[in-house]
Amino acid sequence: MYRDLGANGVVIGALFACNFAPVATIDMIVNDGIIAAIADNAGIFLFLVLLGIIVALVNLAGGSAAFGRWAEKNIHTRVGNNDNRFTFFIEFVQ
Q: 14-45: per-residue pLDDT in tens?
A: 999 999 999 999 999 999 988 888 888 888 98
Contacts of 35 (CB under 8 A, 6+ apart): none
Rounded to whole angstroms, how far apart are CA atoms 87 and 94?
A: 11
Binning pLDDT at 50, 70 and 90, where does residue 79 land? low
Rounded to whole angstroms, how far apart are CA atoms 55 and 64?
A: 9
On whether the CB atoms of residues 71 and 79 are closer than 8 A, the answer is no
pTM summary value? 0.45
State CA 49 to chain mean position distance: 7
